[in-house]
Amino acid sequence: MSTQNALSTILVEKINNDTLVLPTLPAIALKVRKAADNPDINLNSMGEVIGQDPSLSARMIKIANSAYMGRSVKVASISQAVTRIGLRQIKNISTALAMEQLFVSKNDVVARYLQEEWKNTVNVVANSMAVLQLYIARTKNREMSMDAMTLAALVHNIGVLPILTEAERHPEVFANPTFLEVAIDKLSGRIGASIMREWAFGDVFVDVAKHCKDLSFIPENVSYVDFVRVGAALAGSMESQKDAVLNLAVQRDVVDDIAILHSDEFAELSAAARQIFA
């Protein structure tokens, strides 16, 4: 059996037997999500929870001051940031900002793959956010939120993490990236959906993780999947499907003209979103 097939076979067997080790949410994200689900939580209490993590606090202030929050007056404290962002959005935003902690490894080779994956994921996020901003400005449709869009784009390829962890036990796989690419292409969606369910995320996130790269999956209404696909196509991670993705985006009125995706306005929005994770 080839190494490629061996890796895929091992992964499939572990998925079917429910023995594949799935990543867990960073501790601070779990704390914030638990606090956000408390009906009695208030802004001050939430600020205290977030304040336990200096890195998250700094990033929360950064996102409160970001371009897409649309405010000219800057905030300087976590309490001000939480007040500006609001409890409804804090849950998704804090989870998104903590996600980078998952893309680490003590193995140098795996760490390089994870760093590249994180870099690409941030590009997908930035593009997806920019497309949604243009969509909202054009259609005035605010059914989809920017915080959920950010998190959806961040988890779109989360299924790659257990695959890299398993591949770490087979050093020869990394000598030929094709082995990994095949396993990721075949199984990352299925694994990603399992992670979303394990984390108790909603169906919206399950659909993104499971079906992002499967263009046969077309939601009845425009959804986060549509925006993540465009973001991924523009980031180069769906290169072979790029034309199909962009054409589908026009058909579904995600964008009214592909030209907008090559405009200065789009580039500026994407760059501003990317700075949140810099």
Q: Is residue 108 part of a domain?
A: yes
- Tell me, what's the pLDDT at 181? 82
Q: What is the CATH number of the domain that holds 138?
A: 1.10.3210.10
Q: Between the CA of residue 271 and those of 67, 68, 124, 126, 276, what are the distances in Å?
A: 10, 11, 11, 7, 9
> What does 9-43 look like in DSSP terms, one character per residue?
HHHHHHHHTT-PPPP---HHHHHHHHHHT-TT--H
Q: Is 94 contained in some domain?
A: no
Where residue 72 falls among pLDDT bands split at 50, 70, 90?
A: low
Q: What percent of the chain has pLDDT over 90?
A: 58
In single-letter form, the type of residue at position 44 comes to N
pLDDT single digits (tens) 91-150: 998 999 899 999 988 888 889 889 999 999 999 999 999 999 999 999 999 899 999 999
pLDDT of residue 89: 87
| 176, part of any domain | yes
Residue 85 lies in a domain: no
Range of the domain at 177: 3-23+103-275
Does residue 70 register a pLDDT over 70?
no
pLDDT at 175 over 60: yes
Task: Specify if 143 maps to a domain.
Answer: yes
Residue 140 lies in a domain: yes
Q: Is residue 261 part of a domain?
A: yes
Q: How many domains does the chain have?
A: 1
What digits encode the pLDDT tens for the residues 187-213? Answer: 899 999 999 999 999 999 999 999 999
Nearest CA to 135 among 222, 65, 64, 207?
222
